[in-house]
Amino acid sequence: MYKCKKMSLEQAENIYNTRMQEDFPQNELKPFKSIRRGHEAGLYDCIGLYDDEEILGYAFFFSIKKNSEKIMLLDYFAIEKNHRHSGLGGNFLVLLSDFLKTADLTIIESEDPTAAKNEEERQIQASRLDFYEKNGCEYTGIDAYVFGAEYKVLKLHPKRIFTREEIVAFYNDIYQSMLLPKFYNRNYFYVK
């Protein structure tokens, strides 16, 4: 029986140093000290998908409070290699719903397939975007550039209707909270 539970910072660091190095391109991995800083400030949660004690997947979230609303950004999401394309990722998103119900809005970034460097990359990115959309995520109409990667910005189970302007403002606020000021500028992050 699968279950979700919060990881300790030590478990998250182990995942970061092993699986995340393979699961994500280097330009998408922030230094672990940033994750630690957010975790220690109570703004960053690392959730594992477990089968008994084995971690089959993970989801890392950064969150902020703004105008009494909690906004979360899915920072990293992956399923263990041997379990991909089995439906487990979709099950994980469903199992995360208890954790996500504390958020008024969950923002998800998915690489923009139209910005892919080659056909293989485009297919992978299109597959990821399709995965999120099949599992209840909706495109917000917002595109973003974050540390060299172009993303489609999605939302998952918002508690109310958010305008595009509100989502852009929340999204900017998340990155202003997450990044050091020298990295929060048009060279590293902007919304189109």
pLDDT in tens, 41-88: 999 999 999 999 899 999 999 999 998 999 999 999 999 999 998 999
**CATH code of the domain containing 101:** 3.40.630.30
Q: Specify the residue for token string 């970061």.
A: 16
183 has a pLDDT exceeding 80? no
Count structural domains, the chain. Answer: 1
137 has a pLDDT exceeding 70? yes
Q: Name residues whose C-beta falls within 8 Å of residue 178's C-beta, 6 or more positions apart in sequence.
A: 34, 38, 43, 62, 73
Domain that holds residue 104: 2-191
Neighbours of 168 (CB within 10 A): 18
- Angle CA 171–172–178, to nearest 5: 90
186 has a pLDDT exceeding 80? no
- pTM of the predicted model as reported, rounded to 2 decimal places: 0.92
Q: CB of 77 within 8 A of CB of 46?
A: no
